[in-house]
């Protein structure tokens, strides 16, 4: 009887350099960033000795922790180890590509996600800057400096070879989120405060929700004053791409005094969710959050949905108290709770 001869499979060696690519910025819809341009890129290098110079980044070798930079139009590219570099900045702005039809539009403006950072240098001293998120890898910190009014970023890299750590401050979004309802106790307090709430200016509402910065508001108002366009502020911000139509609906409800709930943090009560059928939640875009006595707090995403809740009072058998949630976050929450509350769906065989 002949024994089968085992032929070893060929060994496939994957190059780290072939696998590696510059990290995407960690903010909403980063996957839609435009493709990386080919060829050398203009850059600014801050050396470990404190000297700053500009040139062209010809190659970025993450595996060997070095970069190849050309200084001067006719100069030869030179290898520069990460250990001799404090910070690299690619000076060509990196923009978002056009969104595909039907792609999600709910996002917070990039400017709302900006934050200060401070880098502690191994040789002593600090470097500071602003970034829209960060990505930490073994070789260093990849940062994204805001550019072009928040519509683009400049890629930055700070190597661990010359930096002991990077401290990040709070983003405008995180500071604003502290005003959002995140606990049942805050929900009850917000409902009580709503009875005495005054109507806020729209710009103030957008800023408090973390949807625009004061600089963006000032720039939009200034542009309006310099043109003959009598477009309302909210529509002007949508036209400029600073907010979406869904953002505007959320801000208009907040302006009228409705509490805004953070569905990423709020502990939704499963018993409250069962007050509505999946069909009702889907049709009316309404998610029950909690019950307090005879009151059922329900998250919706627009003032139009607030009016619809009146027709559902008899369905719930309770007084419905509307609160506002950003459209994108409500969509995600509804999808999760409709699935888990659908008895038929949970007993279907998966094919």
For the segment 115-144, what is each residue's pLDDT rounded down to a tens digit?
A: 899 999 999 999 999 998 899 999 999 999
Which of the 8 DSSP states describes residue 123?
T
Residue given tokens 């070879």 in the structure block: 161
Low-confidence ranges of the chain (pLDDT < 50): 1-18, 103-109, 342-351
For the segment 51-80, what is each residue's pLDDT rounded down to a tens digit?
A: 999 999 999 999 999 999 999 878 899 999
pLDDT for position 7: 42
CB 315 within 8 A of CB 276: yes
- Pairing mode of beta strands 134-137, 78-81: unpaired
For the segment 141-162, what is each residue's pLDDT rounded down to a tens digit?
A: 999 998 876 678 899 999 999 9
Contacts (Cβ under 8 Å, ≥6 apart) of 322: 258, 298, 299, 300, 305, 306, 309
pLDDT for position 312: 81
């Amino acid at each position: 009887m002949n024994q089968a001869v085992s032929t070893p499979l060929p060994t496939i060696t994957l190059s780290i350099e072939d696998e590696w690519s510059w990290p995407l910025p960690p903010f909403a819809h980063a996957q839609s960033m435009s493709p990386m341009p080919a060829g050398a890129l203009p850059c600014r290098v801050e050396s470990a000795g404190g000297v700053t110079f500009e040139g062209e980044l010809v190659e970025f070798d993450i595996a060997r922790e070095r970069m190849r930079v050309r200084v001067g139009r006719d100069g030869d590219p030179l290898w520069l180890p990460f250990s001799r570099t404090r910070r690299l900045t690619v000076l060509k702005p990196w923009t978002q590509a056009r969104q595909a039809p039907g792609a999600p539009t709910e996002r917070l403006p990039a400017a709302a996600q900006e934050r200060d950072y401070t880098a502690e240098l191994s040789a002593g001293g600090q470097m500071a800057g602003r970034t829209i998120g960060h990505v930490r890898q073994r070789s260093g910190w990849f940062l994204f400096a805001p550019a072009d009014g928040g519509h683009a970023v400049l890629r930055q890299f700070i190597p661990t070879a010359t930096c002991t750590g990077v401290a990040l401050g709070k983003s405008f979004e995180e500071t604003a989120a502290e005003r959002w309802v995140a606990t049942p106790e805050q929900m009850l307090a917000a409902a009580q405060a709503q009875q005495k709430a005054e109507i806020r200016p729209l710009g103030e509402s957008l800023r408090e929700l973390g949807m625009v910065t004061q600089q963006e508001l000032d720039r939009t108002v200034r542009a309006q004053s310099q043109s003959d366009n009598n477009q309302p502020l909210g529509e002007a911000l949508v036209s400029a791409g600073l907010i979406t139509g869904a953002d505007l609906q959320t801000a208009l409800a907040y302006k009228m005094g409705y509490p805004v709930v953070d569905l990423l943090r709020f502990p939704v009560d499963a018993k409250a969710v069962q007050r509505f059928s999946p069909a009702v939640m889907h049709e009316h875009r309404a998610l029950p959050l909690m019950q307090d006595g005879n009151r059922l707090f329900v998250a919706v995403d627009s003032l139009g949905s607030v009016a619809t809740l009146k027709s559902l009072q008899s369905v719930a058998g309770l007084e419905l108290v509307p609160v506002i949630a950003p459209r994108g976050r409500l969509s995600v929450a509804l999808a999760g709770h409709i699935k888990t509350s659908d008895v038929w769906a949970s007993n279907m065989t998966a094919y």
